[in-house]
Structure 1
C-alpha cells in the first residue's frame, strides 16, 4: 500500500469562547503582533519515544519545521526541549507503577542532545538545546530555558510539540505565570485523541494564551506584520518577563523598547553559568546544549540509545 501522510488533529475553539474574549478585550486574539527577535519557538519532547508511537506527532513535524525555519531566518530563537533522565522516586513508582515509571524516565534517550531529537528536524547553529526534568519546560529549577530566554530578551513563546495535554500544556501554563506572551500553535501540537487535544486548546485560549494555526503564526513572524499602533484592536507590547513574586498572574511590565535586547555573541555562553551543560557539538554543527538544574546521577552519555515502547496507551498522557 502507498504511504499516506500522517494525520493532524481536527482542532477547534468553540465560537462562544471567541465571543467571550472579544467581549472582554475587544478582539479575538490577545497578541496581534510579535517581534521575531523577541520570540522563541519552544519545541517540546519531539523525540523518538513519543514520535514513533504517535501518527499525530509525526503529522506536526512539517509545521514545526516551517515555524523553526521562518522564525530563525527572522532573527528569533528556536529552543528544542528534551526529557531528561531523572532520579527514581517513590512517588513516581507509586503513581505510574515501577515499570511504566522507568519507561518514562528513559523517554528522552541518552547521548548528545542533537542525536536524541526526531531525525527529520533541521537544527540551526544558534538554536538552544535543553533538557527538562519535569513536565513543564518553565517550572523553576527544573529546566534552564527561562533563564536562557531572559538572556536573549524573549517576551513571546510559541508552544509546539507533544504531548499536547501534558508537557505542552504544563509549559504553556508556567510560561504565562512567568510573564511570557504565550501562543499555542494548534496544528503543531499533538496527543493521542482529538478530544484531549481540543480540551487543552480550550483551557489555554480561555485562561493562558492565544491559540492559532501555523499559517497565522507564520504571518505574524513575517517582517512588517504588525497592526497600526493607533488601532484599538492592536495588542500591547510587553517588556521582557521576570519571574513573578506574587501569587497572581504574569508580572506586569512597562512597554517594551523598540530595540531588541542584544543577542549573545559567538563568544558568549548560551547556557546558564550555574547549570551543567553538554558542550559536545553534533557533527558539522556548533550547538550549545544545557542539562536540567537537577540531572540524574545515573544518566549515561557515552552512547545514544532510544527507549522501547512497552505501553500501547502511553501517548494518552504521562
Structure 2
C-alpha cells in the first residue's frame, strides 16, 4: 500500500498555544469604516469575532449584544489590555437605532439561536442593515423565510453554514472529486447525539447531489441500518458516530477499483477565544489517496 498525503498547517513559534492579549488603537475611527454589531458577543465565537473586527481594516465595532455579562465592557471580556468602552447590552433595537442615525454602512453579525435569528434579521433589515448569520442547527424553513424577507426588502443577508476554512476546503475538494468516483460515504464523529446527521454532513451530501451522478449503485438498499442513512436521492450515505470527549470530525470517502481517496479536516478546538481556537481556520488540512493492488486469495 502506498499513501500520498498533503498537509497545510499554521506554524507557531511556541510549542504550546498561549492565549494572546490584544490592545486597541486610540486613533479616531474613520468615517468610512463599516459599523459592525455583534449579536451573541459574549459567546466564545462572538468574542473571537470582536477581536477580529477590532484588528481588521475598514471595520469598527459599534455594538455588542448578548443576554449574558450585560453592562460589562466587551474589550475586557475578550481579555484585551484596554477596554473598548463598549458595554454589552441586551437590547438589539436600541443599538440598531443608534447606528442607523448616521450615514455609515452597518452590518449585524448574528451568533444567537435558531429560535430568535429570524426576528433579529427582521429588525436589522428594518433599520437598513445587512446581516451575516452563523447559527448552528438553523432550520431550512427559517433560511427560506429569511430569503423571502430579504428579497422583499431588497436587503442582503448571508447565512453561513460554517465559519471553518477547513470545512469549506473539504466541501470544495469533495465537489471536485465527486465527478470522478461512483461510490461515496461520509463518516462523522460528534460528542453528542443531537441533530444527527450533522448540518455539515447534510451540507456536503447536498453539495454533491443533483450533479448528474448516482452513487453506490451496487448497494442502493436502505433496509440495512448498519449501512448508514441515505441523504437525498443520489445515494450519498452518512455514518454518524457519537464519541464524547473527542473533537468533532467529518471524513468523506470516495472509491473506484484500485483508488480510494479520502478527505478530512483535522478537528480544531471550538471552545477557544481566538479565531484559530474557534475554528475560524484549521490547524491542518489533510487530503490523502491510498492506492493498492487487488490480489486473489484462494484456499484449498
* Structure ranking higher on relative contact order (CA contacts 8 Å, 6+ apart): 1
User: TM-score normalized by structure 1?
Assistant: 0.26
Structure (1 or 2) with the larger CA radius of gyration: 2
Please state which structure has a larger fraction of its residues in helix. Answer: 1
Please state which structure has a larger fraction of its residues in strand. Answer: 2
User: TM-score normalized by structure 2?
Assistant: 0.28
